[in-house]
């Protein structure tokens, strides 16, 4: 090997080593935050075991069935909830990924780590609250979760991810998480109202359901505009809305008006993402 080739090889090794090292020292705050995220993830897993019926009652059977797929006109059909599989796997992967010192000192991780931990705790708390049948408390919790995720993803827009893993585990996971929770919040509020005895009659209920779906579409447009048209967010929202359509067009309670409105809403959310999608290489899109 020539001296020039040797020098180039040495430079390449130096660059790789520099990239692997933290860009700044791992502080006490970093140490506390990264282990708090792991603790929050463990709590989230425990809450999930309650939610799927391993330790408690399944969500669709809790709260007197108020959250079942057939309980209201804006409840997504059962298969919609399979989106939690990639979300939960992503949260687990993120909890492990952010432990690495090189990742823990990233500004993106520092500015969002506590929010990520809070989202995991709120997720588990929602599942535990519904076990008790506290439907309106669950509304408060899910609204807090939606706001937490909205702020988290907004902060992610400040800087592009540096690796595919970061793009998937941070941007992708929390984008899907936010999009799904946005739709779930609308469904949760509706479930609480119905469970409280609000009944506008056959026609009135359908009109109200269409309005709720329209609100979800409007929220999708706002998120697209504020977050630069993140595809992960839009895809999760469109997924939830599409399964509302499936439920209302093919299952009870049937409501063609709500089903059609949900299809239109899903298309609006995707169109909004396309409209405000940034050409920069930002993650989770």
Task: Check: pTM over 0.85? Answer yes or no.
Answer: yes
Three-state DSSP class for residue 177: helix
pLDDT digits (tens, 9 = 90+) for 24-81: 788 889 899 999 999 999 999 999 898 887 877 887 777 778 888 888 999 999 899 9
pLDDT the model gives residue 18: 36
- Contacts of 86 by beta carbon, 8 Å cutoff, 6+ apart: 173, 176
**Is the model more confident about 26 or about 190?**
190
182-185's contacts with Cβ under 8 Å and 24+ in sequence apart are 182/146, 182/216, 182/219, 182/220, 182/223, 182/233, 182/236, 182/237, 183/76, 183/216, 183/236, 183/237, 183/240, 183/241, 183/244, 184/142, 184/240, 185/139, 185/142, 185/143, 185/145, 185/146
Residue 22 has pLDDT above 70, yes or no: no
pLDDT the model gives residue 3: 47
Residue 285 has pLDDT above 70, yes or no: no
- Segment 179-203 shows an average pLDDT of 94
pLDDT the model gives residue 148: 98
**Is the model more confident about 20 or about 271?**
271
Binned at pLDDT 50, 70 and 90, residue 8 comes out as very low
pLDDT the model gives residue 69: 86
Nearest by Cα to 257 from 76, 73, 80: 73
pLDDT the model gives residue 78: 87
pLDDT digits (tens, 9 = 90+) for 228-253: 999 999 999 999 999 999 999 998 89
Residue 278 has pLDDT above 70, yes or no: no
- Segment 119-133 shows an average pLDDT of 94
**Is the model more confident about 269 or about 160?**
269
pLDDT the model gives residue 205: 94
pLDDT the model gives residue 281: 42
pLDDT the model gives residue 54: 83
- Contacts of 273 by beta carbon, 8 Å cutoff, 6+ apart: 220, 224, 229, 230, 231, 233, 234
Q: Of the ranges 49-53, 61-65, 100-104, 105-109, which one carries the lowest mean pLDDT score?
A: 61-65
- When computed from its CA atoms, the radius of gyration of the chain, rounded to whole angstroms, is 21
Residue whose entry in the numeric block shows the structure tokens 């509304």? 139
């Amino acid at each position: 090997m020539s001296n020039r080739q040797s020098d180039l090889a040495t430079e390449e090794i130096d660059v790789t080593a520099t990239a692997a090292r933290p860009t700044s020292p791992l502080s006490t705050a970093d140490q506390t935050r990264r282990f708090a995220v792991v603790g929050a993830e463990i709590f989230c897993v425990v809450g999930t075991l309650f939610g799927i019926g391993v330790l408690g009652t399944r969500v669709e059977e809790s709260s007197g069935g108020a959250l079942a797929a057939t309980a209201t006109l804006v409840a997504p059909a059962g298969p919609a909830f399979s989106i939690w599989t990639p979300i939960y796997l992503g949260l687990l992967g993120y909890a492990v990924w952010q432990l690495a010192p090189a990742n823990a000192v990233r500004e993106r991780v520092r500015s969002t780590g506590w929010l990520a931990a809070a989202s995991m705790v709120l997720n588990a708390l929602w599942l535990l609250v519904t076990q008790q049948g506290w439907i309106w408390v669950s509304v408060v919790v899910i609204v807090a979760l939606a706001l937490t995720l909205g702020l988290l993803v907004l902060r992610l827009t400040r800087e592009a991810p540096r690796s595919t893993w970061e793009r998937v585990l941070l941007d992708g996971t929390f984008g899907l998480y936010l999009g799904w929770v946005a739709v779930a919040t609308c469904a949760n509020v509706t479930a609480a109202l119905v469970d409280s005895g609000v009944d506008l009659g056959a026609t009135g209920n359908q009109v109200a359901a269409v309005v709720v779906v329209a609100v979800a579409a409007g929220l999708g447009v706002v998120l697209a505009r504020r977050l630069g048209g993140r595809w992960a967010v839009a895809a999760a929202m469109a997924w939830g809305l599409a399964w509302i359509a499936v439920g209302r067009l093919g299952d009870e309670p049937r409501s063609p008006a709500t089903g059609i409105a949900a299809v239109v809403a899903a298309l609006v959310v995707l169109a909004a993402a396309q409209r405000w999608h940034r050409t920069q290489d930002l993650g989770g899109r």
